[in-house]
Structure 1
Amino acid sequence: MNLTCLPARLLAVSSALLLTACATSPVAPPTTSRPTAPKYESGMVSAADPRAAEAGAEMLRHGGTATDAAIATMLALTVVEPQSSGIGGGGFYVRSDPKGQVGTIDGRETAPAAATPRRFLDAEGKPLPHRKAVVSGLSVGVPGNIALAAQAHEQDGKLPWAELFQPAIRLASEGYQLSERGRAMLVRAPDSAAHDPAARALYFGADGQPHPVGTLIRNPALAKTLETIASRGPQAFYTGAMAQAVARQVASETPQDGKMTVADLEGYEAKKRPAACGTYRIYKICGMGPPSSGETTVLAIMVALENFDLAALGPDSPVAWHLFAEAQRLAYADREVYLADPDYVPVPTKGLTDHAYLLARGKAISPERTMPFVKPGDPKGSQRLSFAPGRSYPELGTSHLVVIDREGRAVSYTSTIESAFGSGLFVGGFYLNNELTDFSFMPEDAGRPVANRVEGGKRPRSSMAPTLVFGPDGKLLLALGAAGGATIPVQVARTLIGFLDWKLPIDQALALPLLFSPRDTVIVEKGSQLERMIPALEKLGHDVRAAELPLKTNAIAVVGSRLVGAADPRSEGRAIAQ
């Protein structure tokens, strides 16, 4: 395993002492300059569960950085939101320093080395039924969240590694009350939630029904797992008994194709990636690049809309939502062809984020009618003819968190186990992800390979879009992100339009309804004001239907010298100041 973690710090200290001992010139005296005053009176955390947000806020009160708080929040979500994220999955981390410099870490799961492009095909070469693939070892990728946390902590952590685990350990050992959303997810996905006997005993009663809302859930197995990683460091997850348990469980439930091995876990690496950045009007938007399709898709939607005066149209205009739908169609056409793991596929990220290219794509949009058809564009650096479009499935098992600390460091971090309760495989008190079903099941189409097909060691394409927004002066304005599968980039873009163009307070921007139009059918959020706009949208040429959408967005805005946090009103989330 190649992890930058606590032992590396000890090595650095030892090296420094050795160099000092060997020096022949006197050591310069310490500077007496005053420390920089904090930017804000209080730091803030916004997360999908208030108990997880409180875990992060506790780290801020102890003097931790935004990174410390983000890690503690992710760990707590493993306990209180087991259906959505945690140490059995992976994530993407986007961070900016007080000067606005942006860095990212890719903690996306990887396919076992022995996986092949035919992993999700049956003996006749047809795609497996989706749920059959999900609830099995076939869907499990090597988890990346602990490696991501270790690398982030090494770069920007201040508190001891073990301290970040204490809130999550308390929640697991002392217990937490099952929430309405938590129980609803148990009811919705019993095949994965109760797949493992240990998980079934934890979350379900003797009658086979999920425990009632308010039941105290104690998870001593998870507490022990977290204590082990806290005391032994991140390597405890990827080597030894824990790695053996994960590999054994996954392999035992993998009926075909390559099985996961301990070597797959030992070899896992979280990776620094270039941030995907672009401009929208006077603002700079940055986020996670490939293997995530999130930020390139957000930028594609937003820049295409620069051709129109959204501020004048406002949120009550069917034309504004029509334009939003058309921009999505263009963005997702490119997403399906070009986005995949850049270590395996030449992804034209610069071309896909080029402002002139995206603005030109947007000129195909008319405010008076729908485009009759949409096809992928030809961004600079593309090899479009080499790849065929792929298709993905919806998911419900993702969580997002944002943190801004007093000094102005910001973290936007999306963590996921993919579907609700992931693969259903349960080890050490936590669920393992089903991220590999984010790969395209069909490896080729009409003789052309699909960019996002399965390959050994490859990371599946993601929709996660942790995002940071900066003003024309380069100062941070907004940190945000969302959960909800392929709707994630659209939730982020919707919030940006509400906040930047319609000048809504951040809580109202998060409360805006959603219109989702990745292809030719427009889906509007059921029960929202958009449902009343269906006739107007149909007159513009859209095929529209109303449906429930998996929406969950979190954000913190900088308003003058204050931090203003918010969580999606459809969720149980909350923003908490330190």
Structure 2
Amino acid sequence: MRRLLLSASASLCLGLGCSTAPVTRPDAQARQSPAPTPTATGRGGAAATVDVRATSAAIDILKAGGNAVDAAVAAASVLGVTDPYSCGIGGGGFMLVYLARDQRVVTVDHRETAPQGLERSHFYENGAPLPFDELVTSGLSVGVPGALLGWDEALRRYGSRSLADVLQPAIRVAEQGFDVDSTFFEQTRHNVERFRDFSSSAALYLGPDGRPWPVGSTFKNPGLARTYRLVAEGGTPVFYRGALARALISTVTHPPLVPGASRTVRPGVMRLEDLARYEALVRPPVTSTYRGYTLHGMGPPSSGGLTLALTFHLLEAENPASLSRADFLHRYLEASRLAFADRDAFIGDPAFVSVPVSGLLSRDYAAQRRSALSGARASTAAAAPGNPLPFQGDVPEASPSAAPARRAAEDTLLDKETTHITTSDAAGNIVAYTCTLEGEGGNGMVVPGYGFLLNNEMTDFDLPATVDAPHPNAPAPGKRPRSSMSPLLVFKDGAPVLALGSPGGATIITTVGQTLLNHLDFGMPLDEALAAPRVSQRNAPTAASNAEPEFLASPEAAALTARGHAFTNAGPLGAATGLRFHPDGTVTAVAEPRRRGGGSARVVEPVK
């Protein structure tokens, strides 16, 4: 289970960043966190995250009278300390909020944006897209971070506490430290070659021997504690203007390479003006229905809400009670294939492209698109996009796009990072919040002295074969790259039923989708639905689906293989969290039981 103990050992500052002297056992005065459990049922509010300290921070905020938004931001800021490879103030996210008093769902889009000076040509050399390894670890891959403004916007509009208040648990964790567990160690190990090339990253995340801090040692982040304190005292302008902003821009434009590093690291073009003009946007959700349930998800530039809606609209004509589980999974995989074909062809930042939202949500379009579903046998080639444009009404039409030369990183790399937070409170407010840096460890660069990694979200743009070819998710100045983050709220007859979300790149959509299918169609309790083996069909050129080893060993996989389905072993997919709301007013909080080391679920007032 994730990181049980807080400790107070001495810290060691090396070079431009700060690090932690490893210890073999925690201090006698170490603060103990509650033992993590993946499932809890009770009243008064609930929280589920990947980390016991983040969940505890959310519960403590709720117990002190805060609401679900306050709790979600507190949890996210703690995850910036304990899960820094997945979430933090150097990144962004999408927050879905149910306001119980108004019976209304809103979303807060704080997705990173491309700097105004970032032209598409920066991603090409000699007529071809830049090598991915050069792009991901570069200043060019960094989008303007939106997390802090997103937190502040959510708190100002819908919270009950100030940003300064909800940052206090994260400040304590950063100062007092936490025990390195196997998950944190492995995440560092995956990044060790990159970190060695940057003085600030090596000083924070590697020991004096240039290796990851060992399991059981105590990790502190005084630089991030300082940053959070500065923000608590001065608000978000501290981050988006002034000395911290200048340090961030310097890191992007003059990467802190160590002398003698042989890595090619391209500088970025972000400027102070990009930080100063960033906005977190409040948008309406994408709303659809499935078998009498109402689903609220994120709209563009996230592709999660629309892709899930189309998948389930295509599937709705099937009756799971009259089919074997393998037969129903066959139809689900084929529906997901078609939905992803449309996602790739039509969805991008709505400020830059005309996304046919109403067409993709149209039941008439789904009925027409259903004719493309394969029958008894699996498809053996990637599906072509459909044509939702005639179902758009008066919305300006878009055009389907050709497949890019290089697809977005989250579509192809089976990225297992990003993280999801779910919270609720005694008043009935609910938050489903997914936040990210994009890849594990973002672009690999810690802002010197401030203790946080920068994102590599610009790799979430698709790169067409030529620099001037059209594509809805091609890079452009000020544009937000398409995302697969899929926070979801599910209602029945106006009452909340589920809050759900997951990390996992483009597999986020299929993880949320399969969990929903397990729960609503197969009748599995939420904890079982969330833990069940997963399979992900995203319209890959090979037509194969990615699957977990446990799924590959299942009878369903054998039956699907007999129907022509091909699978590749993807290892673990996602690490979801969710809340299930019961008619008696209790809530069951559920966290991932084992993937990524398992998570933590708690409630304010447990019931037996």
The TM-score with structure 1 as length reference comes to 0.89
Structure-to-structure mapping, 1:179-578, within 5 angstroms: 179-253=181-255, 259-313=269-323, 317-371=325-379, 373=381, 374-379=383-388, 380-381=391-392, 383-385=397-399, 387-390=401-404, 391-393=407-409, 394=413, 395-427=415-447, 428-442=450-464, 444=466, 448-471=469-492, 473-519=493-539, 520-528=543-551, 532-560=555-583, 561-569=585-593, 570-571=595-596, 572-578=598-604
Q: Any gaps of 5 or more consecutive residues in structure 2?
A: 1-41, 256-263
Q: Could you say what secondary structure the match of 2:463 adopts? A: coil
Asked if the contact 1:480/1:553 (under 8 Å) is kept, the reply is: yes
- Secondary structure of residue in 2 paired with 1:453: coil
Contact 1:304 1:327 in 2 (8 A): yes
Task: State the one-letter code of the partner of 2:131.
Answer: P
Q: Report the equivalent of 1:52.
A: 54
What secondary structure does 1:143 align onto?
coil
Deviations 1:338-371 (A, max 9, x none): 1110001111111112233224323432451124
State the percentage of identical aligned residues. 38
Question: In 2, Cα distance between the equivalents of 1:140 and 1:274?
Answer: 27
Give the letter aligned to residue 283 of structure 1.
Answer: Y
* Residue pair 2:348, 2:355 contacting (<8 A) in 1 also: yes
| Counterpart AA for 1:387 | S
Q: What SS class does the counterpart of residue 437 from structure 2 fall into?
A: strand
In the TM superposition, what is the alpha-carbon distance from 1:97 to its structure 2 partner? 1.3
- Tell me the CA shift for residue 207 of structure 1: 2.6
Give me the whole-angstrom Cα distance separating, in 1, the residues matched to 2:565 and 2:573. Answer: 22
Deviation per residue, 1:4-48 (Å, 9 max, x gap): xxxxxxxxxxxxxxxxxxxxxxxxxxxxxxxxxxxx832011111
Corresponding letter in the other structure for 1:361: R
Partner AA of 2:456 in structure 1 = N
Deviates more, 1:57-66 or 1:526-535: 526-535
Determine if contact 2:62/2:71 at 8 Å carries over to the other structure: yes
C-alpha distance in structure 2 between counterparts of 1:166 and 1:104, whole Å: 25
In structure 2, relative to structure 1, the CA distance for the partners of 1:80 and 1:366 (3 Å cut) is same
Separation in 1, partners of 2:72, 2:113: 23
In structure 2, the residue corresponding to 1:185 is in which secondary structure? helix
Q: Secondary structure at the match of 1:286?
A: strand
Question: Contact between 1:59 and 1:164, CA under 8 Å: does it hold in 2?
Answer: yes
SS of the equivalent of 1:470 reads: strand
Q: How many Å apart are 1:529 and its aligned residue?
A: 5.4
Structure 1 residue 532: Cα displacement:
4.8
CA-CA distance at 1:320 after TM superposition? 2.2
By how many angstroms is 1:505 displaced? 1.1
Determine helix, strand or coil for the equivalent of 2:308.
Answer: helix
* Partner deviation per Cα, 1:490-511 (whole Å, 9 max, x = no partner): 0011111111111211100101
Counterparts of 1:71-110 in structure 2 under 5 Å?
71-98=73-100, 99-110=102-113
For 2:291 and 2:400, the matched residues in 1 are separated by 33
- What letter corresponds to residue 368 of structure 1 in structure 2? A
For residues 168-213 of structure 1, the C-alpha deviation after alignment (integer angstroms, 9 at most, x for no partner) is 0000011111122111111223234444323223222233221111
Tell me the alpha carbon deviations over residues 131-180 of structure 1, each in whole angstroms, 9 at most, x when there is no partner. Answer: 21111101000100111111101111112321100000000011111122
SS for the counterpart of 1:360 is helix
Q: Distance in 2 between matches of 1:461 and 1:309?
A: 33
Alpha carbons 2:93, 2:433 under 8 Å: kept: yes
Q: Is the 8 A contact 1:524 1:530 kept in 2?
A: no
Whether the aligned pair in 2 keeps the contact of 1:45 and 1:402 (CA below 8 Å) is yes
Cα contact 1:193–1:421 (8 A) shared by 2: no
Displacement of 1:310 in angstroms is 2.1
Q: Could you tell me how far 1:386 is from its partner in structure 2?
A: 5.9
Secondary structure, aligned partner of 1:342: coil
2:295–2:490: 8 Å Cα contact kept in structure 1?
Answer: yes
CA contact (8 A) 1:443 1:453 kept: no
Q: Which amino acid aligns with 1:460?
A: P
Distance of 2:366 and 2:238 partners within structure 1: 45
Determine helix, strand or coil for the equivalent of 2:577.
strand
The residue identity in structure 2 corresponding to 1:483 is: P
Q: Quick check: 2:205–2:212 contact (8 Å CA) kept in 1?
A: yes
Aligned to 2:17: none
- The 1-side partners of 2:503 and 2:342 are apart by 21
The answer (yes or no) to whether the contact 1:440–1:454 under 8 Å persists in 2 is yes
Structure 1 pair 448/127, CA: closer, same or farther in 2 (3 Å)?
Answer: closer
RMSD: 1.9
The 8 Å contact of residues 322 and 367 in structure 1, kept in 2 or not, is answered as: no
Partner amino acid, structure 2, of 1:492: V
Q: Distance in 2 between matches of 1:421 and 1:443?
A: 28
Kindly indicate whether the alpha-carbon contact (under 8 Å) linking 2:356 and 2:398 is maintained by their aligned counterparts in 1. Answer: no
CA displacement at 1:538 relative to structure 2: 2.6
Distance 1:399 1:311 in 2: 34
- Contact 2:137 2:265 survives alignment (8 Å): no
| Kept after mapping to 1: 8 A contact 2:138/2:267 | no
Distance in 2 between residues matched to 1:193 and 1:363, nearest whole Å? 50
Partner deviation per Cα, 1:397-425 (whole Å, 9 max, x = no partner): 30110111111000111000000110011
Deviations 1:109-147 (A, max 9, x none): 01110111122212x121222121111101000100111
Cα 1:443–1:538 shift into 2, 3 Å = same
Q: What does the per-residue CA deviation read over 1:226-251, in whole Å, with 9 as the maximum and x for residues that have no partner?
A: 00001111111101111111111101
Quickly say closer, same or farther: Cα 1:153–1:291, change in 2 above 3 A: same
Distance 1:345 1:56, change over 3 A: same
Q: Answer yes or no: is the 8 Å Cα contact 1:161–1:233 preserved in 2.
A: yes
Q: Report the count of equivalent residues.
A: 534
Distance 1:493 1:191, change over 3 A: same
Residue 34 of structure 2 corresponds to which residue in structure 1? Answer: none
String of CA shifts for 1:317-352, please: whole Å, max 9, x gaps: 322221121011101100111111000111111111
Question: Given residue 334 of structure 1, which amino acid in structure 2 is its aligned partner?
Answer: D
How far off its partner does 1:444 sit? 4.6
For 2:267 and 2:199, locate their aligned partners in 1 and report how far apart those are by CA, in whole Å: 25
Question: Could you say what secondary structure the match of 1:296 adopts?
Answer: helix
Q: Secondary structure at the match of 1:335?
A: helix
